[in-house]
């Protein structure tokens, strides 16, 4: 190609950039090193803050001499560094999953190439004799040129890994000028096509520091256990800038502060030391030793380096990999550096918050999707205990759509571009015990360059595993990695059972269970498989964060925008809203479900009436000594007793039985439910959670006494008909029916309307993100959202003091040949109780019906005052048939507002499953209870299905002046089919016969409770 620009030249990986090395701090003394604060190093300036800035449509539009020392920048703007310029008013916001935003003509990029020129001054207040002054850019997207005092200092690309430049010879004491030109597009962009917002600029810290030229340039620390996993060898390989007879004193301090050894060695010789029975590092027990390396020249201290050391080894063992001798289970998440206000600019405190939240929710592993994260993350993972798959900043997903997915990944001309990114990552992060695998990248096909990367990874670091999902046959990788592999499907594509049969290497799901919107389902089924087979070593949920962009309306309401909200085209819309936590850090219900599924103690009932339970320690290494078990016995909402139980001595992965006194002596009330609840909490403070934090739980229903028969009150009913309306009246109540539509229209008590619209059959729900591939058929083939009811017959009678109403109807959708035969029956008793029965018979041309129906149930409208709910069933959070492990059976109460889950993109939410009654009360003493003959699902909100379906954002929702109530015989599972397994067969709501029966009773809260009423039969 002719006239390639610097930022298009694949053979120019960097100019004057220092060779990659570990990220560490050099201190002038042992005392300074112990304080471990960068301000105590030899010399340090953080160059973050306000810089001068000018924004250009293309690099060639630069102001003449933009890098000159004496340039007048009074007309330039101010910009914050670190920052992404799109979030500071420059350029265009754009989200896409896989498309490149320009023609695929590698290595060419558009002439219209947004470019930012950054400029600032810094003061150098000391001589640099015997020292090297280095400027470090921790992240610049996508490529940059550096100028110091008007002189070209260097060039770098590779957006998400550090770049260092020696600027000693370009600086002077006093005032200095620094200019950085940043290009949005470069040839490197072809390797940076990750699923995330396209964001540009200097987005990580810019640092200026000095290091002694007689000191270490780099070093590598390794630990290796013996064959018994008891004793270990610590090795350190040091690299000097220049050899001058230096020595290094190595001192190791254990986690309790005791000195293990101190030895002095010739600096150029590798250091090796046998350590007897060191405390091991794992995600469960992150024991960190302190290694002090004191570099001396002629007995003069040149520098001291403080390095954390974790004793852990990783080895292959047939079809498993072992960490410290155990085939661990990864209970992980994929994580981006992300902030809803600043984009990819994240602070140490934000990362620490993420990791603490993960630990509190039983997560033990992170995949740095899909690039090396901020260097703070790795220190924190070492400290708190988190396994890490460190991933190269490499994704070429857009090539998949060209029909030549391996266009550049199999082109040797691009080998340096690929391998360099891997090398720089390994060198920066190699001394972190948390890292157990080097990942070659993501979704970039396979070929020559990945073989070269794998080879180089093993040359540089044979102590860790190599990962890459795109190596579909695990030719060069140590683990067989797949994405979104289904548990069951109806074609011949890969499923987990085939993985189990096929692989001869350990397997992980590097992505699964797409946490987009309401979902995912099926988490338990995956985890059960991981536990069943040693070779299945876990997986990583996609993903941690919803990547919404915080937006504030004129009235101060906060909501979050996503792809397409900025005019970006093409875009994948809200596909970036796919996390276990929402943009503001609020846990999504899916996080609680995941926490439960991967909990460290599994409790099973053996013989509940004898109080015999089985405990399984799901830790890989830890015993249960750090936990306290509290057992509580409830009678519905009443706590009968609670006591602490001594846990058996269980080491990692052991099982034991536990016998407890399970309420044999209590006198049970008819109709009440009895629940035995286990709660495993921390018995002491940890760095990531306080004493009392719950890590695991379980709930069991004890056999009780049958419900009491309902005794109906006395009184006379009056039946009147006026036009199309029929009214049944009793003492202080009326029930109105529509004789044309055959529906219960309204229920009034004491002059107040309680039910504003009676039960009507419904099988549509507001689509969830995991329904996305069903929606075209749902809307244009089955017209599921366009239901029609045809009344065939209505009859009613007042007999023996009870009014009975029957409606026979047909219910189908537009242009459908399949339909339901419905029979509604209402029995109204003299005290105002209403027993409703709905039978549905699947009819017509059943073969034309969809394989799944969103729901089978009834829709009602209640008076807007009925905003306090109480129910007996699963709670306290929302639950669905394939996502309910985190919600136990019991009695719970919330307001209607609290039942609502405020997903970034509104959709079906708030369902409570396995309920046998639900009540609604107002602010006075009025109550309304729905008691099931068996069980139902219910949801209640201030929004109709159509409101949720039409809204793009939460701010688009306007509350109705009534409460929307859904009582469902069944609701379809959630699945994960926005990207992954659809609803499993056993969790599907199908076109099938159904029966739903329940009683509606009004009550006075001062005279009785919903719990008491719930003990009576329907």
Catalytic residues: 443, 511
Strand order in the sheet with 232-240: 216-225, 232-240, 271-275
Residue 714 DSSP symbol:
P
Q: With CA atoms as reference, report the closest residue to 841 among 997, 996, 992.
A: 992
Distance (Å, whole) CA 52 – CA 85: 13
- The enclosing H or E element of 760 equals strand 752-762
Question: For residue 13, what are the contacts with CB-CB under 8 A and spacing of at least 6?
Answer: 157, 158, 416, 417, 420
- Transcribe 260-316 into DSSP letters: EEEEEEETTSPEEEEESSPPBB-SSSB--EEEEEEEEETTEEEEEEEEEE-B--EEE
Question: For residue 19, what are the contacts with CB-CB under 8 A and spacing of at least 6?
Answer: 427
SS3 category, 969:
strand
Residue 177 DSSP symbol:
E
Distance (Å, whole) CA 362 – CA 591: 10
Burial class (CB in 10 A: 0-12, 13-18, 19+), 319: middle
Q: Are 686 and 885 in contact (CB under 8 A)?
A: no
Can you give the C-alpha Rg of the chain in angstroms?
33
Q: Are 304 and 27 in contact (CB under 8 A)?
A: yes
Distance (Å, whole) CA 48 – CA 26: 21
Q: Are 290 and 309 in contact (CB under 8 A)?
A: yes
Distance (Å, whole) CA 736 – CA 727: 4
User: What does DSSP say about strands 247-253 and 694-702: parallel, antiparallel, or unpaired?
Assistant: unpaired
Q: Give the residue carrying structure tokens 């940043």.
A: 182
State how far Cα 124 lies from the chain centre.
Answer: 44
Q: Give the residue carrying structure tokens 């600086």.
A: 171
Distance (Å, whole) CA 937 – CA 233: 59
| Cα separations in angstroms, 985 against 488, 490, 989 | 8, 11, 9
Q: Are 585 and 341 in contact (CB under 8 A)?
A: no
Reported as half-sphere exposure (CB side, CA atoms, 13 A), residue 702 has a value of 28
């Amino acid at each position: 190609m002719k006239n390639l620009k610097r930022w298009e030249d694949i053979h120019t990986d960097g100019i004057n950039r220092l060779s990659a090395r570990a990220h560490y701090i050099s201190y002038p003394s042992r005392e300074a090193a112990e304080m471990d604060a960068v301000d105590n190093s030899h010399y340090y300036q953080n160059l973050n803050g306000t810089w001068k800035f000018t924004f250009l449509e293309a690099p060639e539009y630069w102001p003449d001499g933009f890098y000159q020392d004496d340039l007048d920048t009074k007309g330039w703007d101010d910009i914050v560094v670190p920052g992404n310029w799109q979030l500071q008013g420059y350029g265009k916001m754009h989200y896409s999953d896989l498309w490149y935003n320009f023609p695929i003509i590698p290595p060419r990029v558009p002439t219209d190439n947004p470019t930012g020129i950054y400029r600032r001054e810094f003061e150098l207040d000391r001589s640099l004799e015997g020292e090297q002054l280095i400027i470090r850019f921790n992240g610049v997207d996508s490529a940059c040129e550096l100028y110091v005092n008007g002189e070209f200092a260097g060039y770098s690309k590779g957006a998400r890994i550090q770049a260092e430049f020696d600027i000693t010879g370009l600086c002077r004491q006093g005032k200095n000028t620094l200019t950085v030109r940043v290009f949005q597009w470069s040839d490197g962009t072809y390797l940076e096509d990750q699923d995330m917002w396209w964001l540009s600029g200097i987005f990580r810290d810019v640092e200026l520091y000095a290091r002694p030229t007689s000191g270490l340039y780099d070093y590598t620390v390794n630990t290796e256990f013996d064959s018994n996993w008891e004793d270990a060898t610590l090795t350190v390989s040091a690299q000097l800038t220049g050899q001058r007879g230096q020595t290094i004193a190595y001192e190791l301090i254990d986690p309790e502060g005791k000195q293990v050894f101190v030895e002095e060695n010739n600096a150029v010789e590798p250091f090796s030391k046998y350590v007897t029975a060191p405390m091991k590092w794992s995600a469960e027990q992150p024991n960190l030793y302190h290694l002090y390396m004191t570099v001396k020249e002629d007995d003069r201290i040149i520098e001291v380096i403080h390095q954390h050391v974790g004793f852990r080894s990783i080895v292959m063992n047939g079809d498993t990999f072992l960490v410290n001798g155990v085939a661990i289970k990864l209970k992980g998440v994929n994580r981006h550096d992300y902030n809803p206000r600043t984009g990819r600019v994240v602070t140490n405190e934000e990362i620490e918050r993420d990791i603490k939240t993960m630990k509190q929710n039983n997560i033990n592993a992170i995949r740095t999707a899909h690039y090396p994260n901020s260097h703070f993350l790795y220190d924190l993972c070492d400290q708190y205990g988190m396994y890490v798959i460190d991933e190269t900043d490499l994704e070429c997903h857009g090539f998949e759509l060209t029909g030549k997915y391996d266009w550049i990944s199999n082109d040797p001309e691009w080998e340096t571009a690929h391998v360099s990114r891997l090398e720089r990552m390994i060198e920066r992060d190699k001394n972190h015990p948390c890292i157990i695998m080097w990942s070659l990248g993501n979704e970039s096909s396979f070929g020559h360059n990945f073989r070269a990367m794998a080879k180089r990874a093993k040359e540089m670091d044979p102590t860790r595993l190599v990962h890459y999902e795109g190596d579909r046959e695990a030719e060069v990788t140590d683990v067989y990695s797949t994405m979104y592999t289904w548990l069951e499907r109806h074609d011949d594509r890969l499923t987990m059972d085939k993985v189990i049969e096929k692989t001869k290497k350990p397997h992980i799901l590097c992505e699964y269970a797409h946490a987009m919107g309401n979902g995912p389902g099926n988490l338990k089924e995956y985890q059960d498989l991981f536990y069943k087979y040693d070779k299945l070593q876990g997986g990583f949920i996609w993903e941690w964060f919803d990547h919404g962009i915080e937006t504030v309306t004129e009235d101060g309401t906060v909501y979050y925008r996503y792809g397409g909200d900025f005019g970006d085209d093409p875009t994948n819309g809200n596909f970036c809203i796919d996390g276990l936590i929402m943009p503001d850090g609020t846990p999504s219900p899916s996080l609680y479900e995941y926490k439960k599924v991967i909990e460290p103690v599994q409790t099973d009932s053996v013989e509940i009436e004898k109080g015999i339970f089985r405990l399984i320690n799901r830790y890989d290494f830890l015993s249960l000594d750090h936990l306290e078990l509290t057992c509580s016995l409830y009678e519905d909402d009443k706590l009968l007793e609670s006591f602490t139980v001594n846990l058996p001595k269980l080491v990692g992965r052991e099982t034991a039985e536990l016998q407890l006194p399970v309420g044999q002596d209590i006198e049970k009330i008819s109709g009440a439910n009895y629940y035995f609840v286990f709660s495993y909490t921390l018995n002491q403070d940890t760095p990531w959670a306080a004493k009392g934090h719950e890590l695991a739980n379980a709930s069991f229903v004890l056999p009780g006494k049958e419900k009491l028969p309902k005794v109906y009150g006395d009184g006379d009913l009056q039946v009147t008909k006026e036009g199309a309306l029929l009214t049944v009246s009793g003492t202080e109540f009326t029930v109105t029916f529509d004789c044309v539509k055959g529906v219960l229209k309204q229920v009034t008590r004491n002059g107040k309307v309680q039910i504003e619209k009676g039960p009507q059959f419904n099988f549509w729900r507001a689509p969830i993100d995991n329904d996305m591939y069903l929606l075209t058929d749902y809307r244009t083939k089955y017209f599921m959202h366009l239901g029609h009811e045809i009344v065939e017959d209505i009859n009613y009678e007042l007999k023996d003091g009870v009014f009975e109403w029957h409606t026979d109807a047909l219910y189908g959708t537009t242009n459908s040949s399949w339909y339901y035969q419905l029979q509604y029956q209402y029995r109204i008793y003299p005290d105002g109780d209403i027993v409703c029965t709905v039978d549905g018979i699947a009819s017509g041309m059943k073969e034309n019906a969809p394989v799944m129906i969103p729901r089978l149930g009834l829709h009602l409208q209640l008076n807007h005052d009925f905003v306090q709910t109480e129910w007996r069933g699963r709670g306290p959070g929302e639950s669905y048939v394939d996502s309910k492990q985190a919600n136990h059976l019991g009695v719970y109460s919330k307001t209607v507002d609290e039942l609502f889950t405020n997903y970034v993109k509104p959709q079906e939410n708030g369902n409570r499953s396995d309920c046998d009654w639900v009540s609604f009360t107002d602010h006075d003493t009025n109550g309304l209870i729905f008691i099931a003959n068996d069980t139902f699902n219910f949801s209640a909100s201030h929004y109709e299905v159509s409101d949720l379906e039409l809204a793009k954002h939460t701010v688009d929702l306007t509350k109705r002046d009534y409460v929307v109530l859904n009582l469902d015989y069944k609701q379809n599972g959630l699945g994960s089919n926005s990207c992954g397994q659809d609803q499993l067969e056993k969790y599907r709501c199908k076109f099938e016969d159904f029966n739903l029966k329940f009683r509606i009773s009004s009550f006075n809260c001062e005279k009785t409770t919903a719990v008491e009423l719930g003990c009576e039969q329907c």
